[in-house]
Each structure stands twice: as structure tokens, then as C-alpha cells.
Amino acid sequence: MPVSTSKPIKIEKLTPRQPYGLTVVITGNGKGKTTSAMGMALRASGHGLKTCIIQFMKGDLYTGEWDGVKMLGELVELHATGMGFCGIQGNPYTHAEHRASAQAAVALARKKIASGDFQIVILDEINNALKLKLVDLEQVLDLVKGKPSFMHLVMTGRDAHPDVVELADTVSEVREIKHAYQKDIEPQPGIDY
């Protein structure tokens, strides 16, 4: 058990008097949106809360969180869906194919949210999917408005829609100040994927 606190103090465990299912949006063009969502899944697991992660825009590139969340056992369920980034050069799929995949992910999200099995549902890169018209604004707003009141809903991805931001309780914008790719450094495992 490699966790230590440096002082022999009593640790206080907060419990909110008013449990509240937050709607959280993590947007912006910088590194740290999906990463932050994964951190919430880790933190939630520490509390014994169950998280469902649905990734909307994943392609065929391996990313470490897929094996990382397996270590959290039954507390985290992760569904990697999508056909990679729509509109990016070299991506072989049509818009209709991307949209069909995203629509299946929305249906899955609706089912997981309605199940009541999860205290947290993370829709990773759904903001991009909305921006690219793979899902519709009304679909996203319906997911937010229809969620169980105690369930937290986290939505990530750049270009969050203003109406989604308006509905959310907590919104962070991750701005890129600089990034290693600008120095031609390749993506590094553990940090970038």
C-alpha cells in the first residue's frame, strides 16, 4: 500500500449535507480533458462510487487508460466507441459512418444513465461529436435534463456548445499554452496516450 501522509493527524472525511448530481464540462484546446475525466474515475473509485465512461471519438490507437481502468475492477465500466477523428486527413470513414457510430454511443449513454447503476457517467469527447454534427444538440441537452438528480454527468472535448455550458454547474476550459508537439516531440505513453 504505497500511500503515505506525512503527519499523525486525524483525516476528516467530508459528507455534503446536500448530495447533488453535478453536470461538469471540461472543454478547451489544451492537454488535460480526457485525462481529467480519468482522474475523476480514479477519485470516484476511491470513494467506492461506480463510473461509466463512454468514449465517443476513439479510433484504433491504444491508450493507457483502457488497461488503467481495468485495475479499478467493477467500479469502472469503459466503452471505447467511434471511428477516430472525423474530418482529419487520412481518416477513411464517411460522415454518415461516423454519425452512425456516435448515434450508437448516444443510445448507450441514454441506457447507462437511465440504469441508475452509476453515480458518475462520463461522455468523453461528446463536445467534439456535437461540434462535428455526429450527435444533435437536442440529444445532448436531453441527456443532461433527463439524468437522475444525484448522478454526476461529465462531458469532455473541445468546442463545448454554449447551451451545454449554460446547463452545466462546473465548466473548465483547458487552454494550450504550449505543447511538446510544437518542438516535434512525439506523443509519449503515459502522458499523451
Beta-carbon count within 10 A of 190 CB = 7
**Closest separation in Å from C-beta 98 to a second copy:** 12
Among 70, 95, 111, 133, binds a second copy (CB under 8 A): 70
Does the protein bind a second copy through residue 80 (CB under 8 A)? Answer: yes
Does the protein bind a second copy through residue 147 (CB under 8 A)? Answer: no
Do 51 and 118 touch, CB atoms closer than 8 A?
yes
Does the protein bind a second copy through residue 187 (CB under 8 A)? Answer: yes
CA distances for 63 relative to 4, 16, 77, 163, 177, angstroms: 29, 34, 15, 30, 23
Residue type at position 105: A
Q: Which helix (H) or strand (E) holds 164?
A: helix 162-167
CA distances for 173 relative to 40, 100, 156, 158, 176, angstroms: 16, 28, 10, 8, 10
Does the protein bind a second copy through residue 149 (CB under 8 A)? Answer: no
Compare residues 34 and 128 and give the one whose CB is closer to a second copy.
34
Does the protein bind a second copy through residue 180 (CB under 8 A)? Answer: yes
Q: Which helix (H) or strand (E) holds 76?
A: strand 76-80
**Closest separation in Å from C-beta 172 to a second copy:** 4
Residue type at position 165: V
The residue with cell 480526457 is 34
Does the protein bind a second copy through residue 90 (CB under 8 A)? Answer: no
Among 17, 88, 90, 145, binds a second copy (CB under 8 A): 17
Residue 48, classed as helix, strand or coil, is coil
Counted residue by residue, the chain has a size of: 193
Does the protein bind a second copy through residue 175 (CB under 8 A)? Answer: yes
**Closest separation in Å from C-beta 125 to a second copy:** 14
Does the protein bind a second copy through residue 8 (CB under 8 A)? Answer: no
How many residues at the interface with a second copy, by CB under 8 A?
99
Among 57, 78, 146, 157, binds a second copy (CB under 8 A): 78
Does the protein bind a second copy through residue 127 (CB under 8 A)? Answer: no
Nearest 5°: the CA angle 139, 81, 180 is 105
Among 72, 110, 139, 144, binds a second copy (CB under 8 A): 72
Compare residues 133 and 179 and give the one whose CB is closer to a second copy.
179
